[in-house]
Amino acid sequence: MTGDIAAERIVFPTEAGLYCAPGGFHIDPLRPVARALVTHGHSDHARPGNGAVMATRQTLDIMAIRYGEDFAASQQAADGPTRIGDVTVSFHPAGHVLGSAQILIMPDNGPRILVSGDYCRTPNPVCQPWEPVPCDIFITEATFGLPIFRHPDPLTEAGRLLASMAEFPDRPHLVGAYALGKAQRMIALARAAGHDAPIAIHGALQRLCDYHVAQGIELGPLVPASDPGEARLVLAPPSAFASPWVQRFRDPVLSYASGWMVVRARARQRGIELPLVVSDHADWPQLTATIRELSPQEVWITHGAEDGLLRWCELAGIPARPLRLVGYEDEPE
């Protein structure tokens, strides 16, 4: 280690989530705490009811959209290195969703600890790209921590969606996509693949799509799914597929955009006819390449398929251990 204090006394898992003792804050707490640093706006990472919340401006905006302006007693937008307690923290783009960040924790005397949050290195038109941050301890997710997960080019997947729409012009295509991030990315991908016609969106997506547009992200013409007009492409949160909402569409093609769709059983369990492999998480090549590139002294793994990544670290001779954090979803929806 480069400093005096051992890393595991600076950051460690607690019941409420990952805790930084010299800073006196939790990161992405699972239950309300006094002071929270939030990596991104997905509901299993950003929860309401904390005392003080620090996050990127966009993550704070998204939390306000989801939970109301008063989601925390006090709010602070991350802006350059900031002193909290006895540590300095800074936020860096994670490439996961709009506003998503990695959080770097720098104690005065101790190792630099990087909490990646959820991250992805595939270019994504709806958020800033992942940024490499030198660190001693790399705390990584491992959602797709098995060598079977190699996500194809997302534009190819969008091409498959458009090809299916051309092959079945009479059947509306319903794409299940998480309301924050994936939905807007699928819209942007469909646009990039050449779909200019209006796209219908489920009511649950409206405000988040509006926010993306307000942030300067082009989504093209959107119409409500309740009155889709001629729109043949419909975006909805996947949970809508199990509700009577889907009954209004005649003979739809159910599609779902997720990294899990690479495994056929996952698509079958959901009754999906057109699985699209598009993920906002690092796949196996990205996880392993990132560890090699950052070359940390130690890797800590928060959640996901940690056994696979641990084995890889063992084979690569990189010290690694699991934090076995519970409470985060595989890939939320």
Partner 1 sequence: MKAFARLLERLAFTPGRNAKLTLLSHYFRDTPDPDRGWALAALTGTLELRQVSPSLLRRLAGERVDEQLFALSYDFVGDLAETIALIWPDTTPGPDLPLSQAVATLRETGKLALPGAIAALLDRLTPPERLALLKLATGNLRVGVSARLARVALARTGQRSAEEIEEIWHGLTPPYLPLFDWLQGGERPLLSSAAPFRPVMLSTPVTPADLAALDPAEHVAEWKWDGIRVQAVAEGGLRKLYSRTGEDIGAAFPDLIEAMDFEGALDGELLVRRGDEVAPFADLQKRLNRKTTPRALLQSHPASLRLYDVLTWQGQDLRPLPLVQRRQALEAARLDPARIDLSPLLPFGTWDDLAALRAAPHAPVIEGVMIKRRDAPYVAGRPRGPWFKWKRDPMVVDAVLIYAQSGHGKRSGFYSDFTFALWEGEDLVPVGKAYFGFTDEELRELDRFVRKNTVQRFGPVRQLAPKLVVEVAFEGLNPSTRHRSGLAMRFPRISRIRWDKPAPEADRLETLRAML
List residues binding partner 1 (CB under 8 A): 146-150, 152, 164, 167-168, 171, 241-247, 249-254, 262-265, 267-275, 305, 307-308, 311-312, 315
Q: Which is nearer to partner 1, 86 or 330 (CB)?
A: 330
Q: Which is nearer to partner 1, 4 or 307 (CB)?
A: 307
Assess contact for 7 and 137: CB atoms under 8 A. Answer: yes
Report in angstroms how near the CB of residue 147 gets to partner 1 at its nearest. 5
Assess contact for 46 and 69: CB atoms under 8 A. Answer: no
Alpha-carbon gap, residue 183 to 178, rounded angstroms = 6
Closest CA to 58 of 110, 135, 126: 126
Q: Which is nearer to partner 1, 5 or 263 (CB)?
A: 263
Q: Which is nearer to partner 1, 50 or 122 (CB)?
A: 122
Tell me the CA distances in angstroms from 324 to 118, 280, 302, 307, one per residue in order.
15, 21, 6, 10
Report in angstroms how near the CB of residue 204 gets to partner 1 at its nearest. 16
Report in angstroms how near the CB of residue 263 gets to partner 1 at its nearest. 6
Q: Which is nearer to partner 1, 97 or 254 (CB)?
A: 254
Alpha-carbon gap, residue 200 to 219, rounded angstroms = 12
Report in angstroms how near the CB of residue 198 gets to partner 1 at its nearest. 22
Report in angstroms how near the CB of residue 5 gets to partner 1 at its nearest. 34
Instruction: Report the sign of the C-alpha dihedral through residues 306, 63, 39, 256, in that order.
Output: positive
R_g of the chain computed on alpha carbons: 20
Q: At what angle do helices 206-214 and 182-192 cross, to 10 degrees?
A: 60
Strand order in the sheet with 199-201: 222-224, 199-201, 233-236, 173-176, 253-257, 274-276
Q: Which is nearer to partner 1, 214 or 247 (CB)?
A: 247
Alpha-carbon gap, residue 314 to 258, rounded angstroms = 29
Report in angstroms how near the CB of residue 223 gets to partner 1 at its nearest. 20
